[in-house]
Structure 1
């Protein structure tokens, strides 16, 4: 019985403490997630990495070609060999990426938010040429999905009606 009272007390304390500090869940009615949904047009991709980034961002933010804001981005990636055998053959490759982005209000051409996110992933370089190409392509896709997650998190954390 004491344990259930303790849980109730902690839940009540947590709810009261979060509401007192002004905490609002992102996806709650009136939260920043609701305000951003469908309000950002993402620049068209011109590379495979750009396509994966835009696809992931549109899955999170929605697609609206006549939205209030434009999101422009630049993608930079590089690779580095990690695992090396005694015969100097690379067995694992790390892909590092960085995406610089800016959100521009269409009506005023004013940059309302900008930032840079970075992350990395890796893949095994051992195997046939075909399998290595497939895992390399998947590593770049995973990297762009993680970048889209980081960008979305930052947009939702900073959005409070940017240009309102």
Structure 2
């Protein structure tokens, strides 16, 4: 019969001490009302699925709406409606001696409003906010490559704005259980 080698005295105690500290930390977080925002039983899940996203005009608005729909996953009969208005600013940077730009900065501002349907069919404003994002992309000699770079920048920016709005809505729903 072979015996397992014994751990050195310091290492075994260190592992046990860490396990006790982690258990205590988890217990303290649970006692203070901490709940994860995502995952099973998280604050954001069911509440976020009660939010419908209104159509947003323009191509970039479609990208943002699709990113929001992917994140919120509205159910069949949502109680809330998210309305978003966008503004885009495209600036040339990195100008060369011959006045050709080699770099561009794209900035977006999304102003959002969360409306809740009231029993009489009207809507009341529950929250509003602003999300901002900026992306830099290359202006290349090939016009097609430049447009592909710009579109990729827009997709990244739409994902960033959607993540910001989702986080704010999840925090709002977690803070106001009766919303």
TM-score for both structures, normalised by structure 1: 0.90
User: How far did 1:20 drift?
Assistant: 2.9
Q: Which consecutive unaligned segments of at least 5 residues does structure 2 have?
A: 1-11
Q: C-alpha root-mean-square deviation of aligned residues, in Å?
A: 1.8
> Which piece of structure 1 moves more, 152-161 or 9-18?
9-18
Aligned residues: 164
Q: Which consecutive unaligned segments of at least 5 residues does structure 1 have?
A: none
User: How far did 1:163 drift?
Assistant: 5.0
Looking at structure 2, the residues matched to 13 and 80 of structure 1 have their Cα atoms a distance apart, in angstroms, of 52
Instruction: Say which of 88, 92, 100 aligns to 1:81.
Output: 92
> Which piece of structure 1 moves more, 127-136 or 21-30?
21-30
Q: Tell me the residue number matched to 1:55.
A: 66
CA pair 3-89 structure 1, distance change in 2 beyond 3 A: farther
TM-score for both structures, normalised by structure 2: 0.83
> Which piece of structure 1 moves more, 69-78 or 79-88?
79-88
2:144 equivalent to 1:130: yes
User: How far did 1:147 drift?
Assistant: 0.1
Q: Tell me the residue number matched to 1:100.
A: 111
Within-5 A mapping of 1:1-164: 1-64=12-75, 66-107=77-118, 108-160=122-174, 163-164=178-179
Looking at structure 1, the residues matched to 109 and 33 of structure 2 have their Cα atoms a distance apart, in angstroms, of 32
User: How far did 1:3 drift?
Assistant: 3.0
User: How far did 1:105 drift?
Assistant: 0.4
CA pair 163-111 structure 1, distance change in 2 beyond 3 A: farther
